[in-house]
Amino acid sequence: MKKTVAVFFGGRSPEHDISIITALSSVIKPLLLTKKYDIVPVYITKTGKWVSDAKLLDIKTYQGHMIDDLTKKSKPLAVNFDGGFSIGKKRIDIAFPAMHGAYGEDGSLMGLLRMAGIPFVGSDMDASVIAMDKVLTKQVASANAIPTSKYVFFARTDITENVRAVVAKVEKSLTYPLFVKPAHLGSSIGISKVKNTLELTNALEVAAYYDEKIIVEEAVPNLIEVTVPIIGNSILTPALVEQPLTIGDNLFDFDKKYLSGGGKKGGAKQSGSQGYSELPAKIPSQLYEKSLSVAESVYKVIGATGIARIDLLIDEKKGEVYFNEVNPLPGSLYAHNWRASGISGIELVEKLIGYAEERFEEKNKLTSTFDSSFLQQF
C-alpha cells in the first residue's frame, strides 16, 4: 500500500519561488517516480493561505495567472489533528517540508507537524530554530569550540533608534571589511559587504529593513568559501565539498545564486540549483578533510537531522576553517551535489523519508507523560 506524503512549499518568505522549484523538481518528481507514494501538494501562498490541488504539481500553473485564479477559487484547507494528521479528506503518513526561510524552514512548520504527531523530513523544530538564526548557530558553535569568524549582533531597534552608536560599537570590536546580515534570512537576502563607516551605516539600515536581529561579521582574509551538504540522523553521510564561484565583490547574493547562473569564472564548472560551482572544491586535501570534519561537528551540535547544508569559510593562508552558517533545507536539496556524490534524486528523497521515519520511531520510544497525584490535591 502506498504511503501518502504531504509536500509543503511556497510560504510567506522571500524564497517562496525557490521553494516551488525545490518541491516540484527535487521532491515531488522523484517521489512520484518511485511509485511508492501518493503525493498531496500543500502550497502556501505569499499571504499564508494553504491550497491543495493536483494542478499544483505542474510548473506551468505558476508561470501565468493560473496560480492566482486557483488560490482565489480554492476553499480554505481543512487540517485535522484527529489522532493523526489529515489534509482535507486525505490522511497524511509523512510530511516533506520543501520550504525555505521564515514560516517554513525556521521551525514554525516543524512545530505544527510535531503537534500533528507524524514523521516529517528534515530537522526537528529546535534544530531548525537554531539553524535559521545566524547568531544562535554561532553561539552554539563557539560553545562547542568550533571556530567562527568574529561577530557582533544587534536588535533591529538598536539600529533604528541610534545607528551611530551601533556603528561605533562595531568599529570598536571588529576590523573592516565586514559583512552585515539579517540574522534569519536565507538566500543572501539583505546581506552587504562593507569597507567603511558610510557603507556600514547604510548596510545596517538595509538589514534592519528585513529582520529583527542583525549580525555583523568580520570578513575572513584569503577567503575560500565552501559548502557541505550532509544527510543522516546519528550516522552522517556528507556529500562533496563544493566551492561556489563568485566574481567581483566575493558575495554570492540572491541574483548570483538563482538568477544570473552564478558567478561564472570559466573552466569546467558544475551548474546546480545554486549557480556555478567547483564540484568537488579544488582545495588541498587537508583543508578538504577539515571542512568535512567541521561541517559534521556543526550538524551534530545544533542537533540537525535528515538533511542540512553547512557553509564554511576558509582562510587559505592560515589553513583555518571557520563555520559560517547552516541551511537546514538547501535549495533543490542540493541534488546536483548528491548526484555527483553517487546518490540519485530518487535515492535522496527515499533516504530522507527513511530518516524521518527513523527519528519518529526513536521519539515514540521516549516517555512523554507520567502519572502523578498532583490533581488529587485540588
Partner 1 sequence: MKYFTRYLSVYPTALLYMLQDTEYRLDRYAKWFLRTNDFTKVMKRRSLEVTPKIKLLRMVLWGLWALIILAVAVLVIIGYTSQSFMLGLIAILLVVLLPYILAFGIIVPLLVGAFVIQKPRERAMIERARAIFKDSKATRIAIAGSFGKTTMKEILRTVLAEGKIVAATPGNMNTAIGISRFASRLIGDEEVLIIELGEEHVGDVKLLSELSRPTMGVITGINEAHLISFKTLDKTVSTVFELVDYVGKKAIVYKNGESQLVRDNVTSEDAYVFTQKGVNGWKVTKSHTSLDGTHFTATKGSTTINAHTHLLGLHTIGMTVTAIAIAHDLGLSAKQIEAGLQNVEPFEHRMQPRKLHGAWIIDDTYNGNSQGVQAGLELLASLSAKRRIYVTPGLVEQGSSTQDVHELIGQQAAESADIVVLMQNSVTDYIVQGLSDSDFKGEIMIIDNPLEFYTNLDQFVAAGDVVLMQNDWTDNYK
Nearest approach in angstroms of CB 344 to partner 1 is: 4
Of the candidates 178, 180, 148, the residue with the CA atom closest to the CA atom of residue 323: 148
Q: How far apart are CA 293 and CA 321, in angstroms?
A: 10
Nearest approach in angstroms of CB 336 to partner 1 is: 8
Q: How far apart are CA 238 and CA 144, in angstroms?
A: 20
Nearest approach in angstroms of CB 349 to partner 1 is: 9
Interface contacts to partner 1, rule CB under 8 A: 29-30, 33, 336, 338-347
Which C-beta is closer to partner 1: that of 258 or that of 338?
A: 338
Grid cell of 174 as nine digits = 571588529
Which C-beta is closer to partner 1: that of 107 or that of 272?
A: 272
Nearest approach in angstroms of CB 29 to partner 1 is: 6
Nearest approach in angstroms of CB 34 to partner 1 is: 9
Which C-beta is closer to partner 1: that of 196 or that of 271?
A: 271
Grid cell of 342 as nine digits = 553517487
Is residue 233 within 8 Å of 306, Cβ to Cβ? yes
Q: Where are the alpha helices (DSSP H) in the chain?
A: 16-21, 29-34, 66-73, 108-116, 125-131, 134-143, 156-161, 163-173, 197-210, 254, 285-301, 335-340, 345-365
Rounded to the nearest 10 degrees, how much is the dihedral formed by the CA atoms of 111, 112, 116, 120? -70
Buried-exposed string 327-347: b where 16+ CB fall within 10 A, e elsewhere? bbbbbbbbbbbbbbbebebee
Which C-beta is closer to partner 1: that of 215 or that of 333?
A: 333
3-state DSSP assignment of residue 38? strand
Which C-beta is closer to partner 1: that of 146 or that of 279?
A: 279
Of the candidates 337, 139, 104, the residue with the CA atom closest to the CA atom of residue 230: 337
Nearest approach in angstroms of CB 277 to partner 1 is: 14
Specify the DSSP class assigned to residue 373. Answer: S
Q: How far apart are CA 14 and CA 100, in angstroms?
A: 9
Which C-beta is closer to partner 1: that of 28 or that of 42?
A: 28
| Cross-sheet strand order for the sheet of 275-278 | 243-244, 275-278, 270-272
Rounded to the nearest 10 degrees, how much is the dihedral formed by the CA atoms of 256, 332, 44, 95? -160
Q: How far apart are CA 370 and CA 372, in angstroms?
A: 6
Which C-beta is closer to partner 1: that of 29 or that of 264?
A: 29
Which C-beta is closer to partner 1: that of 194 or that of 240?
A: 240
Nearest approach in angstroms of CB 231 to partner 1 is: 13
Which C-beta is closer to partner 1: that of 236 or that of 346?
A: 346
Is residue 57 within 8 Å of 27, Cβ to Cβ? no
Which C-beta is closer to partner 1: that of 166 or that of 228?
A: 228
